[in-house]
Amino acid sequence: MANFLTKKHLSRRTVLRGTGVALALPLLDAMVPASTALAQTAANPKMRAGFFYLPHGAIMNNTPFGKEADAWTSSGKGADFKLGHILSPLEKLKNYVTTFENLENTAAGGSVHTLNPATWLSCVRPDTAAKGASMSVTLDQLIAQQIGQETALPSMELSSETTIQVAAGNGGFYAATTSYANANTPLPMEFNPRKVFIQLLGEGDTAAERDALIRKNASILDMISERTQSLRNELGAGDKAKLSDYLDTVREIERRVDMAGSRDLANIDVPDAPVGELDNFDEQVKMMFDLIALAYQADLTRVATYVMVAEGTNRTYNHVGVPDSYHPVSHHSNDRERIRRLTIIQHYHMTRFAEFVQKLADTPDGDGTLLDHSLFLYGSNMGNSNQHDNYPLPEVLVGGANGKHVGGKNLILPERTPLANVHLTILDKLGIPQPSFGNSTGVLSDV
């Protein structure tokens, strides 16, 4: 148990204020009263939860080539735990990682793409005959109702691109989002990083007000510089370093967001596009991960859901040597070259996720790190993309969950174990036990 000795005591809710802006701060030692155990204070590290969705399944032992082509499945536990190729970017953090075999989600069965996003975190079959959305609250929003109410944003719902895709039902109720606040309220996924940045760090009741603030003010950090210097004078050496690192991160994201909105298209005839979305897809993905990390660090939100690329997308991946569109190449027709290219795309997304996880592992948070105090689910609601099936599903659990989750293992579950059992287990690890969730049959005791 950690005890802290500090001369000053700052409120956990201390912010740096300037004209029209307020910047939240990360957890500093000065927020813990002298000689007090961290767990006995309001600064006690809070749990974070995250859900990271990739469409079109994964290359597992689900093609005619069997284990020879399997690029996902892990094996063993402890010192013998070996991650599959797609998961290998998590190697340095595998003690935080649990992988699974034999998971199924019948809620999306037979829907091709149209039900996959919404049912990934609900495990409830929607009433597709209803005039409007009719399903159930999703896992992320149930968690946000319990652990997100103390933060400025109870939850964040993000994507790397528009989720309105023709191949996935052109933005139907269940294809355009993974998140439902309740049975009838789908939540939109925001893919404009400028809007996300202003939502986190700006001020204003409407999008128009926030845009006006950005045009008027060159930098949020410049607007709070006087208060920042005053706070530095109150802090010890360790807290000064933490504050400096945090403000450097804010400055860098601010610079990148500003660049995203500074394109000169005056002499080019182009259709309307959201200001702020980056043309470089790789930079877009990295920025969204950085924004989530920043929101966790400043305790602006504790729950985030991120669709890393849309269901049915035609996004190309030239930056990793795959010129094909993601959706067409996912229909690999058991062609080895197309399977190889699809594996490259899946490995790329895992690499970006692993970088995000490493950043959290490197970020102090109370008596541990942000990763120690987080629990994340990364996965898909499709198994073999060539078959559009929902069994087996590729899912991986990552994080320390305040000591409630110990990774370093691959769990071989009974055949066709409901994905909802993973969700029920996540709720249990987060201190939100439920008798059931979706079509669950019980908690996974070995997680």
pLDDT digits (tens, 9 = 90+) for 356-386: 999 999 999 988 999 999 999 999 999 999 9
Bridging pattern class, strands 303-307 and 156-159: parallel
Q: Which residues pair with 51 in a beta bridge?
A: 305, 377
Please give the pLDDT value at position 249: 76
Alpha-carbon torsion angle 251, 256, 257, 261, nearest 10: 140
Least confidently predicted of 10-14, 299-303, 432-436: 10-14
Q: How confident is the model at residue 195 (pLDDT cuts 50, 70, 90)?
A: confident
Please give the pLDDT value at position 7: 45
Please give the pLDDT value at position 374: 98
User: Please, are residues 142 and 427 in contact by the beta-carbon 8 Å criterion?
Assistant: yes
Kindly state the percentage of the chain with pLDDT values over 90: 62
CB atoms within 10 A of CB 204: 16
| pLDDT tens, residue by residue, 259-268 | 544 443 344 3
CB atoms within 10 A of CB 211: 17
Q: How confident is the model at residue 274 (pLDDT cuts 50, 70, 90)?
A: very low
Please give the pLDDT value at position 76: 95
Least confidently predicted of 15-19, 33-37, 100-104, 121-125: 33-37
Tokens representing residue 298 in the block:
């400043």
Least confidently predicted of 132-141, 160-169, 423-432: 160-169
Which is more confident, 270 or 11? 11
pLDDT at 227 over 50: yes
Please give the pLDDT value at position 205: 46
Q: Which residues pair with 397 in a beta bridge?
A: 98, 377
Tokens representing residue 156 in the block:
């964040």
Please give the pLDDT value at position 340: 97
Tokens representing residue 413 in the block:
């579950």
pLDDT at 95 over 90: yes
Q: How confident is the model at residue 248 (pLDDT cuts 50, 70, 90)?
A: confident
Tokens representing residue 391 in the block:
């069994």
Please give the pLDDT value at position 267: 40
**What CATH code would you report for 48-191+277-429?**
3.40.720
Please give the pLDDT value at position 268: 30
Q: What are phi and psi of 175, to 5 degrees?
A: -100, -20
Alpha-carbon torsion angle 215, 221, 223, 225, nearest 10: -160
Place of tokens 């933490």: 242
Bridging pattern class, strands 48-53 and 368-369: unpaired
pLDDT at 238 over 60: yes
Least confidently predicted of 41-55, 86-100, 430-444: 41-55
pLDDT at 3 over 60: no
Mean pLDDT value of segment 151-175: 83
Least confidently predicted of 55-64, 124-133, 143-152, 260-269: 260-269
Average pLDDT, the chain: 85
Please give the pLDDT value at position 215: 55
pLDDT at 313 over 60: yes
